[in-house]
Each structure stands twice: as structure tokens, then as C-alpha cells.
Amino acid sequence: MTENKATQERTPQERLQAEQEHKEHVHHTKINAAAIADHLLGNMHTLHVKLHQYHWYVKGANFFTLHEKFEELYNENEKWFDKLAERLITSGHKPASTTVEFEKYSMLSEDAVNKYAKAEDMVENIIEDFRSTRDLTIRAIRLAQDEGDDALEDTLIAFKNDLDKNIWMLQAFIGKEALEDDDAFDEDED
């Protein structure tokens, strides 16, 4: 997907308008892996804020452990945030890149009141955010497979594996099995 001369002659505002119209069209007709990736980037942006908040405000007996763990998680999140966006750009896509876009696409929420949450509640909240992001990632992986975008698929699979590992470790921290309370896997037990 190279930009032709006519595209390059448009103003930045016209180019952005065309990009936004294309994204809206894709989101309302046939969703693709890149469109789901915008939601993943939105989630990562929200996680950036939330993990920093928890890192700064965690209290209690596990302060030192969780303070360090939340920092590790937000650094890891930043790595994936950049890796996914660059993978999309390499493939000719135009990923979300502004706070307004990230807020529009995020499927997660954050709130100032969470700075007063108990440490275990912070961990459980991050687990749920990681699970939501993992489920979205699985959807993007399937679309990338259907589209034959092997590089994006590989990036998403590696990201999913990282999410799975973090979910397991955080679950273990609060004394639960890796898949315990996981709605995506509870359905298989029926």
C-alpha cells in the first residue's frame, strides 16, 4: 500500500480525513485484523495509565513486590505497544496514534478512584484487563490468519503468549489457578 502522488498532494487534514473515513468504513462493513489492532492499542494505552497509577498508589504488605511488578508490566506493555504499531505501519496500515483515538478504541476503563483500591483488587482488575485484551488478540490472530498476514499473526501470537503468562502469574499471586474465574474457559467446562 504505497501512497500515490495524488495522495501526497493532499493537505495533512485531507489525508487524515480520508484515513478516518476508511477506518470507519472497515469498522462498519468487514472488520479486519488492523481494525482490531487499533482496539488493542487503545487497551494498551489505558493499561499504560492504569499500571502507572497502581505502581504509584499500591499500599500494604505486598507494596514492594507489587510496586516492582506493576513497573515491569507497564514497561512490557510499552514494548508491545510500540511493536504492534510498528508492525502495522510496516504492513501499510495507519494505526491509531493519538489519545483521542486510543480512548475511542479502548475496550478498557480507568478511574482516579482506583488509586484507593486494595492491592488484591488492583491485581484482579489487571487480570480482567489482560483477559479482555487477550480475547481481543485471539480475534485479531484469527483475522490475520484469514488475511494471510503472517507477520502480524506472529506478532499477535507472541503478544497473546505474554498476556497468558502474566495472567497466570498474577492469578498465582492471589492464590488462584491460571484459568480460574476465566469466562473464556468456563464455557468449555459445561
> What's the Cα-to-Cα distance from 189 to each of 54, 176, 183, 185, rounded to whole Å?
33, 17, 10, 7
Given pLDDT bands bounded at 50, 70 and 90, which one contains residue 7? low
Residue 175: give its domain's CATH number.
1.20.1260.10
pLDDT at 31: 86
Angle at 136 between CA 181 and CA 2, to 5 degrees: 165
Domain span at residue 149? Answer: 33-182
Task: Give me the mean pLDDT over the 22-41 stretch.
Answer: 82
Question: 31 or 128, which is more confident?
Answer: 128
DSSP structure string for 15-39: HHHHHHHHHHHHHHS---HHHHHHH
Q: How confident is the model at residue 20 (pLDDT cuts 50, 70, 90)?
A: confident
Please give the pLDDT value at position 25. Answer: 62
In a domain, 13, yes or no: no
Comparing C-alpha atoms, which of 146, 108, 105, 128 is closest to residue 184? 128
CA distance 149 to 94: 15
Share of the chain above pLDDT 90, in %: 78
User: Is the confidence at residue 128, as pLDDT, over 70?
Assistant: yes
Q: Has residue 93 been placed in a domain?
A: yes
Whether 169 maps to a domain, the answer reads yes
Number of domains comprising the chain: 1
Measuring CA to CA, how many Å separate 56 from each of 21, 52, 62, 67, 74? 39, 6, 13, 7, 12
- 23 assigned to some structural domain: no
In a domain, 58, yes or no: yes
Cell digits for 13? 487534514
